[in-house]
Amino acid sequence: MPDQDTMDFKLILEVRNAGDQAFIKSLLDAEGIVYYMQGEHVAPYLYNALPMRLMVRKDQADLVRELLKDFQLSSAYGGLKG
């Protein structure tokens, strides 16, 4: 997790699939986006019953939504959040 106050981050997306997570992280890393995946170390051990939540710096939220607007999740659960 970045060295910033978690209040500076906004929930953008929930995923339950490691493949989706890897793709999203790769895309955001390439774009220099500051983010963390809440629950990424716990969800796989709980059979993905809990989603991994993409948390992005508030000032980058609109850019990330634009980058992910056409992304189709592998699972029926999750997706872009408000």
Domain of 20 in residue numbering reads as 6-70
pLDDT digits over 46-82, tens only? 666 678 899 999 999 999 999 999 888 776 555 666 6
Please report, for residues 36, 65, 69, 78, the alpha-carbon distance to residue 30 in angstroms, rounded to integers and kept in the order given: 14, 15, 17, 23
Mean pLDDT of 15-36: 92
- Could you tell me if residue 78 is inside a domain? no
Please report, for residues 14, 32, 36, 44, 66, the alpha-carbon distance to residue 40 in angstroms, rounded to integers and kept in the order given: 11, 20, 9, 7, 23
Work out how many domains the chain is built from and give that number: 1
Could you tell me the CATH number of the domain that includes residue 26?
A: 3.30.70
Strand partners of residue 15: 52
Quickly tell me which residue has 């895309």 as its tokens: 27
- Could you tell me if residue 77 is inside a domain? no
